[in-house]
Amino acid sequence: SVILEQLWCFEEMPEEETVKVHLQSLRKKLKTAGAPHNLIENVYGLGYRLNPYL
């Protein structure tokens, strides 16, 4: 949610499905660019983050 607060400029926060769709699109683009498949990881109870070990 911290990322959304920094990036989302509208008063209403997006639905969870909106975030999932954008992340899916981002992961596809990263894969095409040759990024590791686990660059963006899900963190249970928190959301998403960049893998700190890459």
User: What residue spans define the domains of the chain?
Assistant: 2-50
| pTM for the full predicted model | 0.68
Reported as a single tens digit per residue, the pLDDT across 2-47 is 666 666 666 666 677 888 888 899 999 999 999 999 999 988 888 8
Between 9 and 50, residue with greater pLDDT: 50
30: CB partners within 8 A, 6+ apart: 39, 40
Query: How does residue 1 score in pLDDT terms, banded at 50, 70 and 90?
Result: low
State the pLDDT at residue 5: 64
State the pLDDT at residue 16: 73
